[in-house]
Each structure stands twice: as structure tokens, then as C-alpha cells.
Amino acid sequence: MAWRSADEPPLTLPRDPAREAARRELSKGMYHQNDPSWYERAMDAFWEWLDKVLGAASAATPGGPLGLVVIVLAVLALLGALWWRLGTPRRAAASATALFDDRPRSAAEHRAAAEARAAQGHWNQAVQERMRAVVRSLEERALLDARPGRTADEAASEAGSALPAHADRLRAAARDFDDVTYGGRSASEETYLRLAALDTDLERTRPALAGSAPATADTALGTRPGAAE
């Protein structure tokens, strides 16, 4: 056997001509028309990974696959309850929006609009207009300063100071307004009637003056018990 010197180039073996020809043939596009797209490959990989995760979770969960299903349903129910109770996340960011639009209207006009919406069964818009009527009426009675940009929550808080007997109902009305305006919830006839009753009661109520006794139902109507007719 002859030895090669160090100066000679290394010996290379030529590729198998048949194998190289087959590789070139299979690289043609006509053979790859039905190959899965990158999206399909990614989804296949995802579902394969998810199957492995669920398989491992069901093996570690008491009750096996059935126990895992129960846990998943419990988590979904909890998330649904939280969404229903707290509303959508956009409410917190949007609740600082002003209560009124750029076109000023009187309390009577807002009430008329609310009644018209209620007659059509459009309870969301009816609640919005009735809350605006409540706040506009308090401004017209000088119980609130007419301040542009005021929110429903701010109006309820300020009005509650002048009308402490109705503070809780005012805050609840502001929450109802926020829920239908920013929270993505739907009002009902009951919601509207509750707000309309508050509006009527506020019209009959006198403000609590500093140092005066709390107003009763009789004093709110301008009468005194036992007074002569």
C-alpha cells in the first residue's frame, strides 16, 4: 500500500450520482405544494405541547382527567363571577369621563329624554339620562355648583354632603350609571325605576344646613306636625 505525502491534497470521494439526482428532483416545488404552512406547523406544535401538559396535569390531579375537567370548570366559573362583579377592565380607565356632553340641557329635558328611552325599553340610555337629570336638578337648585367636567361619582359624593340622608342612594345611582356607560353591563327596568324614585325623592328633600337638625319627611314637604291648617 502506497503512502501519500503530507503535501498532497486529501482524497475526497465523489457523491453517489443517483442520490444527488434524487435530492435535486425532490427539491422541486411540485413535490411540496401540499406541505403544511408555517402556521399549521406552529399550531400542530402547540396542540402537541398542550396535549403533553394536560396529560401531565391529569396524571397529577386527583380523579385523573375527570378531576382536571372539574378544576378547569371551577376556574372558569370563578373568572366569570369576577367579570360579572367587577365589570370589564375599561371601566376604571373611562369612569373619569364627564357626565354631560357639550350641549347643555335642563333637568326637565333630561327627564323627558329618559322617559322616552324607558318607553322604548332602552334601559341603558334611560338610566344615563335620568342620572343626568338628577345632577342637573341639583345644580339648578344650587345644591351643586354647575361645574363642567364633573363625573357621576364626583356629583354623588358632593350631593351626599348636602343631602346626607340620600348619600348611599346617590352613590348607588352613580355606580349604575358607570356600569352601563363604561362597564359594559345592561340596565334593567328595575334599575331605571330605582333611579327615577331617587330623582323624585330628591325633588322633595331640603338640604341639610350646617347646625340644623336633620330634615324629616314632614319638614321636607314644608309642614310641621300638629300645625294648624
Residues 195, 190: Cα–Cα separation, whole Å? 9
200-210 pLDDT, tens digit each: 999 988 776 55
pLDDT of residue 208: 61
Could you write out the DSSP letters of every residue in 40-66? HHHHHHHHHHHHHHHHHHHHHSTTHHH
Whole-model pTM: value is 0.51
Question: What grid cell was written down for 181?
Answer: 356607560
Euclidean distance between CA atoms 1 and 102, whole angstroms: 103
The candidate with the shortest Cα–Cα distance to 143, out of 167, 166, 164, 163, is: 163
Alpha-carbon gap, residue 72 to 159, rounded angstroms:
46
pLDDT in tens, 37-88: 788 888 888 888 877 777 776 676 666 666 667 777 877 888 887 777 665 5
Residue 73: exposed, middle, or buried by beta-carbon count in 10 A (0-12, 13-18, 19+)? Answer: exposed
Low-confidence spans in the chain with pLDDT less than 70: 1-18, 21-22, 24-35, 57-58, 60-68, 85-102, 208-229
Which alpha helices (H) appear in 27-166, and where do they start and end?
38-60, 64-86, 90-94, 107-119, 123-140, 152-162
Distance separating alpha carbons of residues 19 and 84, to the nearest angstrom: 65
Tell me how far apart the 2 most distant CA atoms of the chain are, in Å.
141
pLDDT for position 94: 44
Please state, in angstroms and rounded to a whole number, the distance separating the CA atoms of residues 182 and 227. Answer: 49
Nine cell digits for residue 102:
357639550
Residue 121 gets which letter from DSSP? T
Of 142, 145, 111, the residue nearest 128 (C-alpha): 111
